[in-house]
Structure 1
């Protein structure tokens, strides 16, 4: 599957609500970009690893993104701004296909995920204040259920199983994993 297939399937797919734990606390608005780029005519998602010294989610695998700021026109602006700040990818190199359903985290954020196709010749450079490493994972690998493993987790006194995906930079899990799995479901890929 490449970016052309994704563009056709994503635009035709209905938006389904992600499967998540209900939490009624007030959430802080944020946005992420799910950046897709073709490598050898196969779609890959660009992910980041956060530095271990950060206060929020140190060392975790994530999508480029962050908190909504008053200077942002809307959450799409937030996602594009953060992509530029974290990986030096200008908005002019991104074709935003649309938005996935909002995702509420257990840490107090409401995440608006946007799907963006990167120009095929896009290069990026990490801002090492925000990104320890950046890397690509193929959509084919992320769509294969055999590559995911259950992770036992306890929250609010309830035992739940989250899904995790091993990467060369650590475990992809939590909100980022849920957003990616929701995206692959919208593409009608087996996840």
Structure 2
């Protein structure tokens, strides 16, 4: 999809109420973890932010995803947006997203033009309330992965998300015999599922709303 066309659709789509839960659920693993949408979050929950950054690549709209390294944690090896935990010195969720994206993949904060914030999403397994921040850069960033936090950077065309052949479903089996029927996007031979896929689902609905 053309970079300028995507920005125009997002600008129009963000004028509508955010799609939120309804859009997120369309890419949620089943059974749905009801804790994601509880009106009252755990008192000890933590806050974090991610950056969805649109940028031009041969005039087409792209955004970066990252693959986390393998480590002893619930998100080991998973695909995510650049982002992370809010620090005490961060003014707000936007500053967190910009700082983390700079630290993880070398997106310079001054290059980012903000579009707005999407719907927050709670991740029960890590006890994080994640705030997705939407922005764009007029130029292709000079991506550099922070080796301890990023195994690889995946430059992803927005058009990929519209390809039916890249929307798939599989059953994930965990060590305690728990199973999840999981919708996902296949991007560069990687499985994009869970919170990242749910955020992308809302992103796509915002684009659709911009066509009205």
The answer for the alignment partner of 1:16 in structure 2 is: 19
Pairwise CA distance, 1:11: 2.2
2:135 matched residue in structure 1: 116
| TM-score under structure 2 length normalisation | 0.80
Query: Are the equivalent residues in 2 in contact too, given 1:49–1:169 (CA < 8 A)?
Result: no
**CA deviation after TM superposition for structure 1 residue 154, in Å:** 7.9
**Of the two, which has the highest radius of gyration?**
2
Matched, 1:185 2:185: no
Corresponding residue for 1:73? 91
Change (3 A) 1:121 1:166: closer
Per the alignment, do residues 119 and 110 of structure 1 end up closer, same or farther by CA in structure 2, a change over 3 Å counting? Answer: same
**Residue 56 of structure 1, CA deviation:** 4.2
RMSD: 2.3
Where do 1:111-150 residues align within 5 Å? 111-150=130-169
CA contact (8 A) 1:50 1:58 kept: yes
**Secondary structure of 2:34's partner?**
coil
Deviation of 1:44 (Å) = 1.1
Structure 1 unmatched runs, 5+ = none
Give me the TM-score of the superposition, normalised by structure 1. Answer: 0.88
Aligned residues: 188
Maintained 8 Å contact 2:102/2:108: yes
SS in 2 for 1:188: helix
Task: Report deviation, 1:161.
Answer: 3.3
- 3-state secondary structure, aligned to 1:164: strand
- Larger RCO, structures 1/2 (Cα 8 Å, 6+ apart): 2
Q: Distance in 1 between matches of 2:189 and 2:166?
A: 15
1:101 Cα deviation (Å)? 0.6
CA contact (8 A) 1:61 1:169 kept: no
Q: Which runs of 5+ in 2 are unaligned?
A: 26-32
How far is 1:29 from its partner? 1.0
Q: CA–CA distance in 1 between the matches of 2:164 and 2:121?
A: 21
| Counterpart for residue 29 of structure 2 | none
In 2, Cα distance between the equivalents of 1:5 and 1:51? Answer: 34
Instruction: Work out the CA distance in 2 between the residues paired with 1:115 and 1:32.
Output: 9
Match of 2:76 in 1: 58
Q: Return the structure number with greater strand share.
A: 1
